[in-house]
């Protein structure tokens, strides 16, 4: 490495996962062309990498907030491009980051264009999912299996239930950093072949757990969800009291895949799938969007979630290029249905050229990966730049929505504490 070249990550090389960093290089020759690289290994041991070529200015400096990439994993001014363009060597790999205890570690480096890419400087970026003072506690009560994240301090805190299709702590821990008490619960904890039905009562237990927690000050509970978790969230809002604010991301308007039961009776039939309508792409990944039955067809009306009977608020988020569901179509139908029933408690946003996997920002973008329910690699959709820009906007929108609709009552929290002491 060159002792003169310096690679800096500002404001710090240690940050939260959803925070941007400014990547700057100094000490290069005037107008020198170099390659910037990033490299990271996920929880499965798969290595992801990215690279981009930059030209220094007259002072021998490069600033990714200002300077365009000339070629590589992306082109143009992309301050966080080295992060979102991280990619595995093999096809259909999703960057696995679901455990909140360990940071997402990224190695940034600067290399000569000549001399076989001799390294000139490097820096390590530790991107934490849990900030200082946030606590993590596994929860196992009755049918409830989840992980609770609590911000530092005594509260009161607004409460959010994070519904994931499969166990994942990323979104929940990051929301806890922003002042929300978050319980994350997976829709599927068992092998899918063993799941013949789902029971809304199990998710109601999660809502009740949050409502009764002594540090929760919000009148009701918020729910955030995507994909299969999104229709469970709709059902909670429609059938369970205490759900005040629901964020639905790229899901269905109907109960998908398996029957849904509540209080020992079936409340929603499953919206079925026609595998003959799957489209196989040249990459080996499938487009499954067109195999989903129409929830508005007469024979499927029993699967449509009756959101018009809720008293809570909704934020619907859809990627226009979602190849897993017709998310935008479902969103538009639900918004129209709520308005037709006189409901004014709805917000919606659609993102052009964004795909299915809308997540907290600054993680690697992946256009395809293995689908846990379908048992095959699928295309998720989305154009990289548009998709990652949507994630940044969506993440702020979700927090604003919950802060608006989950106001805290300190007196209510104090009463809960006094009840527990007695």
Tens digit of each residue's pLDDT (9 = 90 or more) over 312-367: 999 999 999 999 999 999 999 999 999 999 999 999 999 999 999 999 999 999 99
Q: Which residue among the candidates 18, 321, 322, 326 is catalytic per the annotation?
A: 322
The stretch 125-152 carries a mean pLDDT of 97
Percentage of the chain lying above the pLDDT 70 cut: 95
Q: Which residue among the candidates 92, 104, 202, 356 is catalytic per the annotation?
A: 356
Tens digit of each residue's pLDDT (9 = 90 or more) over 166-224: 999 999 999 999 999 999 999 998 667 678 999 999 999 999 999 999 999 988 999 99
pLDDT recorded at residue 418: 44
Which DSSP state fits 143? Answer: T
Percentage of the chain lying above the pLDDT 90 cut: 90
pLDDT greater than 60 at residue 280 = yes
pTM of the model: 0.94
pLDDT recorded at residue 100: 96
pLDDT greater than 80 at residue 419 = no
pLDDT greater than 70 at residue 416 = no
Mean residue pLDDT of the chain comes to 94
1 alpha carbon, distance to own chain's centre: 37
Tens digit of each residue's pLDDT (9 = 90 or more) over 57-94: 999 999 999 999 999 999 999 999 999 999 999 999 99
DSSP letters of 357-384? Answer: ---STTSPP-SEEEETTTTEEEE----H
- Catalytic site includes residue 405: no
Q: Which of 382, 287, 281 is nearest to 325 (CA)?
A: 287
pLDDT recorded at residue 402: 97
Question: What are the φ/ψ torsions at residue 145 (nearest 5 degrees)?
Answer: -135, 115
Q: Which of 105, 112, 83 is nearest to 5 (CA)?
A: 112
- Catalytic site includes residue 190: no
Domains of the chain: 6-128 (2.60.40.2240), 135-410 (3.40.50.1820)
- Phi-psi domain of 17 (left: phi exceeds 0; alpha: psi -120 through 50; beta: other): alpha
Q: Is the separation of the CB atoms in 117 and 394 below 8 Å? A: no
Q: Which residue among the candidates 51, 100, 225, 227 is catalytic per the annotation?
A: 227
pLDDT recorded at residue 375: 87
Characterize the bridge pairing of strands 243-251 and 279-280: unpaired
Q: How many CB atoms lie within 10 A of CB 30?
A: 10
pLDDT greater than 60 at residue 413 = no
pLDDT recorded at residue 309: 94
- Catalytic site includes residue 89: no
């Amino acid at each position: 490495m060159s002792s003169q070249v310096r690679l800096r990550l500002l404001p710090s090389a240690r940050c939260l996962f959803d925070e941007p960093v400014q990547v700057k290089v100094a000490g290069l020759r005037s107008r020198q062309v170099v390659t910037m690289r990033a490299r990271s290994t996920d929880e499965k041991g798969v290595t992801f990498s990215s690279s981009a070529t930059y030209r220094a200015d007259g002072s021998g400096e490069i600033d990714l907030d200002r300077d365009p990439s000339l070629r590589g994993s992306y082109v143009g001014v992309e301050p966080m491009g080295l992060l979102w363009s991280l990619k595995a060597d093999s096809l259909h790999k999703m960057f696995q980051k679901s455990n909140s205890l360990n940071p997402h570690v990224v190695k940034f480096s600067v290399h000569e264009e000549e001399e076989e890419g001799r390294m000139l400087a490097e820096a390590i970026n530790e991107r934490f999912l849990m900030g200082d003072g946030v606590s993590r506690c596994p929860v196992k009560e009755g049918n409830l299996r989840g992980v609770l994240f609590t911000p530092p301090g005594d509260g009161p805190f607004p409460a959010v239930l994070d519904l994931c299709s499969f166990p994942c702590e990323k979104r929940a821990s990051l929301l806890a950093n922003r002042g929300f008490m978050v319980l994350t619960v997976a829709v599927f904890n068992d092998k899918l072949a063993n799941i013949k039905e789902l029971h809304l009562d199990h998710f109601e237990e999660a809502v009740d757990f949050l409502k009764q927690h002594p540090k929760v000050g919000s009148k009701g509970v918020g729910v955030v969800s995507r994909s299969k978790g999104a229709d469970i969230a709709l059902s909670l809002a429609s059938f369970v009291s205490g759900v005040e604010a629901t964020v639905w991301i790229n899901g269905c308007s109907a109960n998908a895949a398996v029957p849904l039961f509540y209080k020992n009776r079936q409340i929603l039939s499953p919206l079925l799938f026609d595998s003959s309508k799957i489209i196989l792409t040249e990459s080996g990944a499938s487009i499954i969007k067109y195999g989903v039955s129409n929830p508005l067809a007469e024979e499927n009306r029993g699967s449509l979630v009756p959101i018009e009977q809720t008293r809570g608020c909704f934020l619907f988020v859809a990627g226009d290029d979602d190849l897993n569901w017709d998310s935008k179509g479902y969103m538009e139908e639900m918004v129209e249905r709520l308005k037709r029933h006189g409901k004014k408690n709805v917000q919606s946003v659609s993102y052009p050229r964004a795909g299915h996997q809308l997540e907290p920002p600054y993680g690697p973008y992946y256009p395809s990966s293995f689908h846990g329910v379908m048992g095959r690699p699928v295309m998720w959709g989305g154009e990289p730049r548009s998709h990652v820009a949507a994630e940044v906007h969506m993440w702020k929108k979700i927090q604003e929505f919950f802060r608006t609709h989950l106001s805290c009552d300190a007196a209510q929290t104090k009463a809960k504490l006094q009840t527990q002491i007695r």
